[in-house]
A and B are shown apart, each in its own frame.
Chain A
Amino acid sequence: AQTVTQSQPEMSVQEAETVTLSCTYDTSENNYYLFWYKQPPSRQMILVIRQEAYKQQNATENRFSVNFQKAAKSFSLKISDSQLGDTAMYFCAFMKPMIYNQGGKLIFGQGTELSVKP
């Protein structure tokens, strides 16, 4: 069974600085997807960034980038130039590729509460 671990329950960062959130996972699969979701106080689950395991290049989305280390089963999220609106709970998640008629099953980590301070 797959597991996802986020070892930092809470983190804080000053506005405009850079912060890295850690995530490790355990799987025997070779092909899979990794995600970072953001959950602000509004409760909405927002996809931040996605990484396909078969791609060696790390995914980037504007100020958000990942450091994907497949052999180490590590998937950290770096937020550059932190903004007040980045304050949220961040979840790391794992999923095997979707299969026709079977959909996909997201397995989440425990979450990291990030506070961006002015």
Chain B
Amino acid sequence: DTAVSQTPKYLVTQMGNDKSIKCEQNLGHDTMYWYKQDSKKFLKIMFSYNNKELIINETVPNRFSPKSPDKAHLNLHINSLELGDSAVYFCASSQVPLGSGANVLTFGAGSRLTVL
């Protein structure tokens, strides 16, 4: 199926650990994103990559490091996890439309990270 897929869907870990969340899209899009949804369900962009190049880097602690090995993959690595990192992390992708086509992001199903 064509989609944005994230793994793992659930991740429970201890404070201080390092963890990664992987994202892959087979839509042929050239831009990928990470969004964070906090405990109050507020969604905010963290990073965006276009063809493996970082183009958006919001004020995110540098314990968070995105990596894009190719334009179909965008992984999120988090070092020294803290309680406040508990959230749902969404990957998304988009393609700049030709003409007046749709300006739409396609989201993955989210990865719920719980830090104990």
Contacts and interface: CB of A to CB of B under 8 A. Distances in A.
Contact of A102 (B45, B55, B92): B55
Contact of A47 (B41, B45, B104): B104
A39 B110 CA distance: 11
A106 B44 CA distance: 8
B42 A108 contact: yes
A38 to B, nearest CB: 11
B102 interface: yes
A91 B35 CA distance: 14
A5 to B, nearest CB: 12
Nearest to B33: A103
A111 B39 CA distance: 12
Interface in B47-88: 48, 50-51, 55-56, 88
Nearest to B53: A101
B103 interface: yes
Contacts, number: 65
Interface string A51-62: 010000000000
Interface string B26-38: 0000010101000
Interface in B84-109: 88, 90, 92, 94, 96-97, 100, 102-105, 107, 109
B43 interface: yes
A95 interface: yes
Interface of A: 33, 35, 39, 42-45, 47, 50, 52, 89, 91, 95, 97-108, 110-111
Interface of B: 31, 33, 35, 40-45, 48, 50-51, 55-56, 88, 90, 92, 94, 96-97, 100, 102-105, 107, 109-110, 112
29 contacts: A43-B88, A43-B109, A43-B112, A44-B109, A44-B110, A45-B90, A45-B92, A45-B107, A47-B104, A50-B103, A95-B103, A98-B96, A98-B103, A101-B96, A102-B50, A103-B31, A103-B48, A103-B94, A103-B96, A104-B103, A105-B48, A105-B56, A106-B35, A106-B105, A107-B45, A108-B43, A108-B44, A110-B40, A111-B41
